[in-house]
Amino acid sequence: MSKILKWILLLFIICIGGYMLAEWKMKKEVISFLERKVPNHVDFSYDDLTISLLHGDISFTDVAVVSFGKQTSSCEIKVNADELSIKGFSYWQILFQNSIFIKNLTLSKPHLNFKTCPDNTGNDDANKSNPINLLKEIFVEELIFESGVVEIWDDDEAIKLIAIDEINLSLKNVVTDPDIIKKYVPFTFGSYHIDILNFNAPLGEFERLKMKSMVVNNSTIDINNISLATIYSKSELSKKIRYERDHIDLFIPLLKVDNHNYLATNDSLHINFKELLLSEPNLEIYRDKSRLENFRNKPLYGKLLQKLPFKVAIDSVFIEKGAIVYEEDIPNDASAGALSFENLNVAISNLSNIESEDPLKINLDSNLMGAGKFHLDWQFNVYDPRSTFLISGGLSNFNTANLNEFLVPNLRTKTTGTIDQLYFTISGDEYTSTGDIKMSYEDFKFQVLNKERNGVKKILSFIGNLFVNDGSKTDADGYRYGDISAERVRHKSFFNYLWINLQDGLLSVLTGNGKKD
C-alpha cells in the first residue's frame, strides 16, 4: 500500500473518529442542557437519543413529559410521544447570532393529557410554576403534531372534560424569546393548519357536545356533524330533575367561519369572526311541564352576552334551511303539543359583547307549522342598562287549525279560520312592553275543550265566540287593528315574553272595536 493511500486512510479514520467524538460530545451537551434548562416542575424523559451533526438532526424516542404546577387552567400536563425529532438545527445561528434556529420540529403520535386545577387551589404563590427563563430567541420554521390524541380531565380525573381522537397540527414560523415566553400565549406563529377528528365534551351534567371533524386554518373554520344533545332520554331526564328543564337535541351538518382571528391580552381572550354560517341545523326541544317551575329570574340575551368569560365580535351570522320543533308535555293523558318552524333562514349582524352604539340585529323568515309565512325583525343593544328592544314581524296565509296540535294539549282550545295577513310592532324592556297589531282574517272561531280534550264545552265556546269578531268588520284595506300591552314573567324566557305580547294583541284585534287609533 502506498504512503499516500495510507495517509488518506488514516485521515479518513481520524475524520470518522472525530465526527463520532463530536456527536458523542454533542449528545452530552444536549443532555446537560436539558438538565440545566428544563424547569423544576417539568419532568422530561426519553428512551433513546440520536444526533446527526452533518444534517443538524436530533431525535428522541419514547418521549414522556410531565409538568406539575398551575399552567393557566391546568395543574398537570402529561405528554407521551413515539418520537420527538428536530431537523435542520443551525449551528451558525447559535454560535454567531445568539439564537436557536430549527427547520422542523415534529412530535409523532403524541398523547396529551391535561388535568384541570381544583376550584380551591390554596395558596396561589405555591401553585405558580417557575417561569422558563430564556437567554436566546428560538425560531422553528415548522412545528408539527402528527396523529395526536388529547384528553382533558377534571381535577380528580373522574370526568373527561374534552376528548379528541386525533389531531394533526402544523404551525409555521414559530417564535419565542425571553419576553414572549412569559406572556399568556408564550409564542407567536404565522400560518397554521389543524385537523381534528371526533371531538367530544360534556357540557355540564346533562348535555354533551360532539363534532365529527374540524379543519382550521388562518382564514376559515369548517366543522362537520355537530351534535349538542341531552345525554338522557326524555323519560330518564324527567326522573333526574326536580325543576323544569329542556331536553335538547341539536344537529348541525355544517358550520363554517370565514376570516377569523384571536387576541389574548391581560389573560382575556378576544374572538373575532367576519362571517359564521350554520347550514341546515335541526333543533328539537322538549319540556316536561309536570316538573316544578323554576322561579329564578332569567336574564335577557343582552345580559347573557355580557356575562360570557371572553369577548366575542361576529360581524354576520347566517342560518340556512334550519328547523325548530318545540314540544311541551302537560301532566295529563293527552299527547305532547308541538310548535314547529321549518325552512328557517336567519341573518344576524353585530353579534358582540364589546360595548358599541350599534345594536344587535336579527332578521328571521320561516314557515310556521309547515303552513304560514312568518317574518321577524328584532334588535337590541347588548349594554343597554334597561334591556330595551324593538321587534316587528308578520304572518301570512296561515290556517289557524294548524296550531291545534299545540293548542289542544297545552291550552285546551281549538281554532278554525284563516289569517290572511298579520303585522305587529313591539317595543319594550326587561319589565313591560307595548305595541300595535293589525290583522286580516276570515271565519276565526275557537272552542274550549273539556279536561279530557275529547269534547267541546259548548256553552263556554259559544260565549267566547260572541265576543270574537269573525273578520267581516274591517277597514277599507281589510284589516282590523289592536293594541299590545304586556308585563314580562321574569322567570320565563324571552320567547314566552314575545308570545304573551302577541296573545294580548290578538285578543285586542278579535274582541275590540278593530279601529286604528
Residues 317-376 have pLDDT tens digits of: 999 999 999 988 876 655 556 889 999 999 999 999 998 889 999 999 999 988 889 999
Query: How many angstroms separate the Cα of 409 from the Cα of each of 79, 392, 405, 457?
Result: 56, 29, 7, 15
Q: In three state form, how does the secondary structure of 354-398 look?
A: CCCCCCEEEEEEEEECCCEEEEEEEEECCCCCCCCEEEEEEEEEE
The whole-angstrom separation of Cα 404 and Cα 468 is 18
The pLDDT value given to residue 126: 42
- Residue 104 C-alpha cell reads as 422542523
Residues ≥6 apart with Cβ < 8 Å to 281: 250, 251, 252, 253, 319, 322, 323
Q: Are strands 360-368 and 268-279 parallel, antiparallel or unpaired?
A: unpaired
Digit-coded pLDDT (tens) for 221-254: 999 999 999 999 999 999 999 999 999 999 999 9
pLDDT surpassing 60 at residue 291: yes
Q: Are strands 207-217 and 220-230 parallel, antiparallel or unpaired?
A: antiparallel
Q: Which of 321, 232, 233 is nearest to 283 (CA)?
A: 321
pLDDT surpassing 50 at residue 74: yes
Sequential DSSP letters for 67-114: EEEEETTEEEEEEEEEEEEEE---HHHHHHSSEEEEEEEEEES-EEEE
Q: Which of 233, 264, 227, 261 is nearest to 247 (CA)?
A: 233
- Residue 377 C-alpha cell reads as 325583525
pLDDT surpassing 80 at residue 381: yes
Digit-coded pLDDT (tens) for 443-502: 777 655 544 444 444 434 444 444 456 556 778 788 989 999 999 999 988 988 998 898
Q: Which of 30-44, 84-98, 108-122, 157-171 has the lowest mean pLDDT?
A: 30-44
Digit-coded pLDDT (tens) for 10-54: 666 666 665 555 555 666 666 666 666 666 778 888 888 888 777
Identity at 138, one-letter amino acid code: I
Considering the chain, what is the average pLDDT of its residues? 83
Greater model confidence, 14 or 100: 100
End-to-end CA distance of the chain: 121
The helix or strand, by DSSP H or E, that contains position 347, with its residue range, turns out to be strand 337-352
